Structure formats: structure tokens, C-alpha cells
Structure 1
Amino acid sequence: MTTIAQHVTAAPVIEATTQLLLDRYVFPETAEQLAALLGRRLAEGAYDVEDASDLARLVTADLQSLNGDLHLRLKHHAEPVPPEQGAATLARVREGFDSSLGGAPRVELLDGRVALLELAPMLFPLSWSAEPLGAALTLVAPADALILDLRDNTGGDPDTVAFVCGHLLDGRTHLNSMYWRDGDRLEQSWSPAHVPGARFGGSKPVYVLTSARTFSAAEELTYDLQQLGRAVVVGETTGGGAHPRDGWTVHPHLEATIPVGRAVNPVSGTNWEGTGVRPDVPCAAEDALDRAHALARARLAADKADEPRPATANPAQQRPS
């Protein structure tokens, strides 16, 4: 398949991206440093390319060069980008939703009454996904243990994170807080007090599978459950993106994605930005399901062994009827 080059003039793209950084980026001091860097690179001729995809690659490398923020990007789109804020990303997200059963492509009961629920390729906007996710979570609720597979989940909606957590906890719980540059405010995220359908609850074992591809809101779901002591994380360290971002069109084929907030976990007081979420049980991502299944079955067997046995009547005290 041949890629058709899309002509671009760098200067107006850099000017628009620089202004967005200064106005919107959650770290204003870093925004000023990045704006100066982009200006220098433009003056040096580093962006003297004709193809939009080449400019996106060069600018993204510079945007991420100071603090490694993986949400900070100049993103290339093969198809023309709608002019409305966030529209380019929303169109791509809708395609993923329609092709993945609403973000729950796999629900399975494994041996030992251990349920497997895969959430992928992302946690879609709750206004879309509440019905399919609620159905999937209700389906696994009677299981004795749950494996939540986030290995191929690249992010999504924090409200959907709270929705999923609501099914895995017994009551309303403070999950996360988000600092927003706009208004200089801190906004708390809580699991809902009530959920549609059956609730898996807050006592049965939960295991979360991760990979290096697990990113953004999928990391928040992992981190929230881990910090609450609600789940055992099995797999690889995640990608390390804790800054929610918005997107702005700066060229017919280019979208500047700018982080506008940062997560603050109420337990740790920090987040997973740059470090990723570290697993409790490290292993290769391809081995994580088998490892978690074995852990779940061992845990259930141990719990069963610890259950008090019913008292047995003393034969000497029994009387014939």
C-alpha cells in the first residue's frame, strides 16, 4: 500500500502548537521550555520537510525530549482531521468501539470458576460503553475469582474506570483525583454507589493482566485497584502515561495532543507517569494469563481449605428413631 505524501508548511503548525503548549499544557514551566525549543528548531531548519508525517515524527520527538510525556504529541492522521476539538480522536475511537463489542471482546469462564474478562482496545466513553460493560461485568459476577485482561488496552475514559471499579468494590470509594490546569482545580473521582446489574463485589479475588502496551486510563484502572489492595497485578510494567490530554487540529492531517491535567492518587499521593504501574507478580505479558489463573486457583483452594467444617454429631449421643 502506497502512502500519499501530504504537503505541510512547518511554520504555522509550530506556531499553533507552541501557543497550545503555552495556554494548555499542565506544566506551564515545561511549556515555556518546549516553546523555546520548537522555536529554535524551526529557525535552524530542523522542520524543513514537505510531508506531514515527517513533521509529526520530528516535532513529537522534540515535544517528548524534556520530560518524556508520551501523551504530548503532534499526531499524524492519514485521513483529513475534522476541525472541531477532539473530533479526530473521537472518530478513531468510535471505529474501535464498533469492532470490539463495546470494549469487552472476550468473556470466558475458565477452570475452577475463574472468570476472564478482556477490556480492549480501550475504555470507551461511558455514554457508549455502560451497557456492554455492565452486561459483561454482570455475566462474570457469580464467578469465584476474576481475571481482568488489560494487556491490549491503550487508555480511554476515567468515568469508565470508575464504572468498572464500582463493580469490583462494595461501596462508594475514592479512586483518584485529577488536577486540571484550567481553573487550577482538583477534581475527585469516586466509584459509583450503585451499578447496573450484579456486582462482583469487593471480597473475591481479582487479578489484572498488564503489558508494556497497557496505557493511560487502563493504567489508572490498574493503579487504582492496586493501591486499594483490591487486585493483584500480573504481567509487565505498563507504559507510564498519567496525564489526560485534549486534541486540537493544527493542519488538515495533524493533531496536537496536549496534556491538560495530571492524576493524584489518594493512597500514594502520586501517579504512574514515566514509571508505569509495576506488577505485583512480574512476568512476560504472554505468560500472564496462565500465571494469574494458577494464582487464582491456588487462592481459591487455600480459602476453601480454611473454611470451618460443619460439626459432626457424636455417634454415642445418637439415638435410634
Structure 2
Amino acid sequence: MDINELVEETGRLVAGHYVFPELGERLRLLLAERRAAGYYRGAADPAALAELVTGDLQSLNGDLHLRLKHHVEEIPALPGDTSLMEVMAREARERFGGVARVERLDGNVGYLELRPLLYPLSMAADQLNAALRLVADSDALVIDLRGNRGGDPATVAFVCGHLFDEPTHLHTMNFGDGTASRQSWTPFVPGPVFGGEKPLAVLTSSGTFSGAEELAYDLQQHGRATVVGERTGGGAHPREGFRVHPHLEVTVPTGRPVHPVSGTNWEGTGVVPDLETADGEALAAALTRLAR
């Protein structure tokens, strides 16, 4: 493991891709200064180096998506993001596309648990669609995101497409590299859907993060769902991953979503529940709220 090369490459990637270009350059210089001072020299293994570098990357603005991420399993040696997508695709197959549990509770309340990720639709569309159709005839619905650490914005829009009756603007994504802004809207979903009128609750925990936060935030800001549980982690900026070592990935936020209702997002603040409860009490609290 050549620590100097790894840190230098990490800084280059951050400076070249971060959604806030000026801050990205400041971080590159910070890593270079710390490297020259020998700060990373004592890292005994990739995991230790990842912890040290991540601390520096998050030291200026606390962006939790900006990190040198350690993978226990080796990242396949494929070009660009392809290697990381291969790892995710394998995980999606093993996790039924992120559909952890779907159930009919007493009172014809549907319960859908999505974890650990909202996988890209290329990996999970069939499983998600099947699960959402199973709960479409429920009189009320609980979507449990307490164990969900993020995912693809297109998957967020797909799930929301089952929960609104009309095309709905979810966010506008702004980029730091001059790329034109891009709007996200709910897609048309054929067949039976839960729709936009029946009661809906979303469960969150302090570990709910990234794309899972977007799902909760979009539904909450449009007045479509009651969020129940804990304040979420506060990571709004979507990121790209770059393999720099068999066990290390540089993750760099490349965009900033702006919600049409709030004019901002949940970066740093998290999604604040409408009904705040401890993680383990969220489902019971949500069912009580839905029964009113």
C-alpha cells in the first residue's frame, strides 16, 4: 500500500468532482499538507488509512458522503465505477432487491420494509414493483426505512410513483462541474398502486441515510406522509465512487438536490420526524397515528 499515492489520488478526485469546486481544492491542499507532515504514515492497513483520510475530508463542512471508504471484501479490478456496481449488483441479488419484508398487519395496514439500500432499478425494479403491488390494496401503509442507508434517486422516484396520483416534482439536482441542472419527477406506474390519498407513514432512525432520507423528505415535504421515528443522518448529496485500491473507494458528492417545497434539502440537518420516537417504538407509534 503506497500511502502517498493513495492520498494524492484521493485529493485529485475530490478536487475534480466535488459539488463545491472551491472546497474540493481546499481539501486537496489539506490532504497534501497532512501527507507532507507524515500524518498518514502510521496507518497500519487500508482500514486505518480510510479512517484518517475520512476525518480530514469531513473536517471542513461535515459532508458524510465525502470519504475514503474501506471495503472488507476486495473490490473487483474493473474499470471506473463498473467494479463497484458489480459488488452492488451481487448484494442486490442476495437481498431480494432491498425488499426485506412485506406484510399485511391488522386492520388491513400494509407494511413494507426496505433495506439495506434502495438499489438501482436495473437491479431491483421487479422486486420493488412486486412488493408495492402487494400493498396497493391496503387501507393504510407503513414504509420502514429505519435500516436503510441510501440508494438511487431514480429508485426513490419509482417508489414515489406508487404513492402519488399525479406527476410530482421531487427535486432539482444542481451540479458543481457546470452540468445542466436535472429535475426528478415521479414516473407513471401502470397497474394497481397505493396512490396518493390513503394514510401513509414512514419510519426513520438515526441510521437512515442518503437516498432513504430523500424518500422520507420528499413524502414529508409534499404532505404525503407522516414521518415517525428518529432524526435521520443528514446526507443529501449524491455521490460517485472511485476505486483507488483493492479495498478502498473514494466517494465524492457530485450534486446538490433542491426540493421545490422547502427550497433546500436535508444536508447536515437530517429529516426531522413529524412524530419523534425512539427507533424501537416507531412502528407502534405509527400504527397508533394511522388508526386515528
* Pairwise TM-score range, normalised by the shorter structure: over 0.9
CA distance in 2, matches of 1:38, 1:241: 22
Q: Paired residue for 1:57?
A: 51
Matches within 5 A, 1:105-254: 105-192=100-187, 194-254=188-248
Query: How far 1:210 moved relative to its partner?
Result: 0.2
- The residue type paired with residue 158 of structure 2 is F
CA distance in 1, matches of 2:7, 2:194: 49
Query: How far 1:119 moved relative to its partner?
Result: 1.0
Q: Paired residue for 2:16?
A: 23
- The residue type paired with residue 246 of structure 2 is P
Deviations 1:120-168 (A, max 9, x none): 1111111221111111111111111000000001111111100110100
CA distance in 2, matches of 1:275, 1:125: 25
CA distance in 1, matches of 2:16, 2:168: 33
Matches within 5 A, 1:304-315: none
Count of residue pairs brought into register by the alignment: 290
Match of 2:29 among 27, 36, 47: 36
Q: Paired residue for 1:280?
A: 274
- The residue type paired with residue 125 of structure 2 is A
Q: Paired residue for 2:81?
A: 86
Q: Aligned pair 1:70/2:64, yes or no?
A: yes
Q: Paired residue for 1:270?
A: 264
Please, what TM-score do these two structures have when normalized by structure 2?
0.96
Query: How far 1:100 moved relative to its partner?
Result: 2.3
Q: Check whether the contact 2:93–2:123 (CA below 8 A) recurs between aligned residues.
A: no
Q: Check whether the contact 2:96–2:124 (CA below 8 A) recurs between aligned residues.
A: no
Q: Look at both structures and tell me which one has the larger radius of gyration over its CA atoms.
A: 1
Q: 1:96 to 1:264 in 2, by over 3 A?
A: same
Deviations 1:263-284 (A, max 9, x none): 1111111000011000000000
- Please provide the CA RMSD for this pair: 1.3
Please, what TM-score do these two structures have when normalized by structure 1?
0.87
Q: Which stretches in structure 1 are left out of the alignment for 5+ residues?
A: 1-7, 299-321
Overall identity of the aligned pairs, in %: 57
CA distance in 2, matches of 1:56, 1:144: 47
CA distance in 1, matches of 2:264, 2:249: 29
Q: Paired residue for 1:308?
A: none
Q: Paired residue for 1:9?
A: 2
